[in-house]
Structure 1
């Protein structure tokens, strides 16, 4: 089955202004994978980050 070869990923969003959360996410293995323009009510962008679950389990 083709689905057996798919790796599972975890996605999250964080405000572009939340430097502490961005740093923490990068430290534990998340990578920046996208951006949602003006996603928050204050007009700021949301950064989309993802990590493969298998890489998070290794730490």
Structure 2
């Protein structure tokens, strides 16, 4: 998957102190990419939109 034009957004829970930061690219056709902001050249995790929705629902419900 070509991620060269992906728009990465850092988690609002990530601070500016160089700590644990997660970035998400949600502007991909039918997919969501997640990466560690400290290693933007590493391989991101790729989810389908349905998988991502289930993951977010589980987080919101404490699972």
> TM-score under structure 2 normalisation?
0.28
State TM-score, norm by structure 1. 0.29
The one of the two structures with greater contact order (alpha-carbon pairs below 8 A, sep at least 6) is: 1
* Greater helix share, structure number: 1
**Which of these two proteins has the greater Rg computed from alpha carbons?**
1
